[in-house]
Structure 1
Amino acid sequence: MEHHLKIARVETFAVPPRWLFCRIETDDGLVGWGEPVVEGRAETVRTAVHELADQFLLGADPTRIEDLWQVMTKGSFYRGGPILSSAVAGIDQALWDIAGKALGAPVHRLLGGPVRDRARAYCWVGGDEPAAVRDQVAAQVEAGFTAVKMNASGRMSRLPTVAELNEVAARAEAAREVLGPARDFAVDLHGRFSAAGAVRAAGVLQPYAPMFVEEPVLPEYTHLLERVTGATSLPVATGERLYSRTDVLPALRSGIAVLQPDLSHAGGISESRRIASLAETFDVAIAPHCPLGPLALAASLQLAFCTPNFLIQEQSIGIHYNKGAELLDYVADRSVFRFEAGDLLRPTGPGLGVEIDEKAVRAADGSTTAWHNPLWRHGDGGFAEW
């Protein structure tokens, strides 16, 4: 009689700097890992993971990935949103990791095979002053990267002042000076702008030709994106705070050029694969959002290497959020994330292709201080978007 695997145990680990890992073990000892997290809400997502495990996973066949995805997302009357979608995402990653390990193949082989051998990557540069941007961009060029991303601004007025717009332009000018015409930079507006403000920001950015302008409006104002895309020739990107095909559809219809699903938020590999296919029908590129840990990056790369409309991969090595731990600190073999001339090379190991240092993860569990994004206020004391 054929033996069917069963899920025997689901564990979660909250580790520095702000990550949550999920470990799923089968009855015959196969282990899969995933990264279900909402930055700043790790413990909330952790609770959701264990609720889903108790209700749907324990005793189930882990190879029935699609069926488990369906029941986790639709088996309860209240569904969707960042917490539940992220909990499902990390579980889904772990199930694909198990499937790949059971078959001895990387996940991208199970999803149709590779369509490329290298994935272009970008890194973050911070700094509030143009001089700091210039220095950090120069350091990343020296490290071999061909693209960087940076925030466009600090807190912004509802209608940006000339002084605020001049600061946006100064940062872009500093980046372009160092990069020259052969390298790229992207600008993250981070939902800090109104639609009218984003149009003005795009205008001052135009001379510096950023690769894309990210999240010009908040996700709840996706219906206003067309005001921005219709007013600029710059490629517009969004998607890190959209969690499903139905969430991204209005953005795709608005005329964006780049969609940025986060594989630790948008339902994992299963849903992000469908999101990418949907985007392809709108001639929209995919640039997975990933300022997170090693499992989120590993899952993103599996998608990148089997997705025809993939553009570029975000990764968090050296990002300013990583205080207390780095992406490679929890990886047993650091060479799995291999960079060459700013590109990540195709992973070849089974499953997600990364071996987690379980001893390090267990030792770090619970040692993290809860991360929360800053709370900003305007000069008059009113709330300001971060």
Structure 2
Amino acid sequence: MQLCFFDDTRATRLMPLTLTKPSNMVRVGILTITEKWEHYLSPDLVTRQMPEYMAGVYPAPEIDPSADCIWINGRFLPDHQVLGEILQLSTDEGLMHKHTPVAMRMDGTRSVSIFNAGSLPGAEISFSDTEHGTLLDAPWQVFAFNGEQVQADISLLKAKLRTVDEKKYPGVHFQSPYQVYVKDGAVIEPGSIIMAGDGPVYIGEKATIMSGAMLRGPVAVCSHATIKMGAKIYGDTTIGPWCKAGGELQNVVMQAYSNKGHDGFLGNSAIGEWCNLGADTNNSNLKNNYSNVRLTEWETGKDYDTGLQFCGTIMGDHSKTAINTMLNTGTVCGVCSNIVLGDFPPKHIKSFRWLTKNGEDIYKFDKAMETAGRMMERRGIEITPEYRAMMRFLFEKANR
């Protein structure tokens, strides 16, 4: 089976999280959307359509014209029910979810033509409706749906998971250990408290839970992530691969390689990759008048009502805050921006900006890439020419 992800015209609504990656690479729960589909379908080939400026940054192998291809909307999250419906599709049949094409089956020759042209699939497809699966339509849904996705991913991975052996972790308090899943090489230091009564706790391969940390499920601590000493990690939170988390976090998704290593509160937020939140960075996730939080849509610049009473920060890749930073309710920040303010910054922060008490300046591209390169080098990752070209495109777009 071949699997190809596509982004429709509404995929831009997930920005700024998807400024630097196609939507199928966003993490919700334990797994990225790609990884969820790979576990469900076990495809022989996985590829994706991407904006031209991302070319070469992410793998996109050619489709085999001799075999049918399943096309999946990149912002569509699977479940067992929709999997059954997809496996029953015949060639030139598809599924609609809330009036949006989410899955199609096409022959290889036609798929190659559409893939190479970079056009959207869907013409001459016979669609039926499905109520199953979950379609992301806004960046805040990454954290809003995260708790249920942690639990769904554990169900998906359960055949490969083991519940914790309490004897291996003396001095650690486990509540409902039958809902605590620990992968090989994980370290849980004495004095930690793992509360899984309200939902499962997943601790990935070679993750570290330092002494005195408190976790209340549903929570996912992904591979190589670190929970710092005394941290308080509340439910519906994912600490992505190689991330560090300290202080207090509630309903937060950190995608990967990002750090919030010190005290401070972060709630109801989605943080991209390669971000760093300085010591005592705090965000507001609730307005003083308890009204719904409004958010700025990235592409249009228009504010809209999220319908949420709790909504904190959406931050794109490579952005950073200084010590003692305060982030307002419903803050949206692009990629490669630095917030160095003693007061609340604007609620909408463009990409490649440097915010200080003296105002807003453009973050020079070469300086931004120098800093990004140093951070990525610490994890053994180099900035490729293709990655740099992608960032250059975003820089120029932000400064037109």
User: How does the TM-score come out when normalised to structure 2?
Assistant: 0.24
Question: More helix per residue: 1 or 2?
Answer: 1
Question: More strand per residue: 1 or 2?
Answer: 2
